[in-house]
Structure formats: structure tokens, C-alpha cells
Amino acid sequence: MRSSIRIVDCDNPGTWTRYRAGLCDSCQANCCTMPLEVRLPDLVRLGLVDAFEAEHEEAGRIAKRLMKARLIEHFNHKQAVFTIARRAGGDCHFLDAATRRCTVYEQRPDTCRQHPQTRSPRPGWCAYGARGRG
């Protein structure tokens, strides 16, 4: 007898499910365990950087401050892309561990707003299902 629970490996888009409306309603937020890359306007919207700082401060200096505060884990200088820090278990910093829902949904970064339709390792597909332990 085959199990009806689909196991997904977030690092292997070949295990993902084709996205369809309503799929997120029963998801366990697997996409919120993948690295989240954001740009400066996202950080302003999230309230991690104020608009004045974003306009007048060098991105590298902002990144240094955010790394020290453990809000980001990486900064790509060439592309000016920040990677949001994750918790020890791999969850996004903004994911509620109990409800598995985003705590900043209205302010979420563009990457999240456009996932999985365009900003995804496999556009149109998502890491829906029971998370595999690898």
C-alpha cells in the first residue's frame, strides 16, 4: 500500500508539486525553509532598514550592521542581494514555528510575493508536501 503523503525535498525541485490556487492553505511552509534573498526595498518594507538609511548609506555598511544583529546571514556585494537569517532549524526568521504562517505577510519581500510563480528555482512549482529529512 502506497502512502498518500507526498515527501518533498526542498533542495530538489524535481520532488515539487505544480502550483495551483489554494495549495498554500494546507501547506506546512516548506518554501520558508529555503534561503530568502531580498533587496534593499524589501528590508525597508520589513522595517529592518529605514528609508533614509537606504537612500544615504552604502549597502555594504547596512549589510554589516544587519549581520551583526543576526538579521541577515549573507550579502552579495555584486548584486546587492541580502540573504535573511534563518533559525537553527532552518525556518525563515519571520515564520511562526507553531502556526507555520508568516508573521510579516503584509510586508513580505518581493521574493515571497512572487513565489512560486516567477521567483523560484522551478517557476510554477512549489515544495508542497511532507518535508523529507535529508
Q: What is the pLDDT of residues 31-71, one digit of tens each?
A: 999 999 999 999 999 999 999 999 999 999 999 999 999 99
Average pLDDT of the residues in 94-116: 93
> What's the pLDDT at 6?
67
pTM for this model (two decimals)? 0.84
> What's the pLDDT at 41?
97
Average pLDDT of the residues in 72-77: 96
Distance CA 27, CA 129 (A): 7
Is the pLDDT confidence value at 2 over 60? no
> What's the pLDDT at 22?
87
Q: CB–CB of 131/11 below 8 Å?
A: no
Domain ranges in the chain? Answer: 1-34+87-134, 37-85
Burial class (CB in 10 A: 0-12, 13-18, 19+), 39: middle
> What's the pLDDT at 42?
97
Q: What is the largest CA-CA distance in the chain?
A: 62
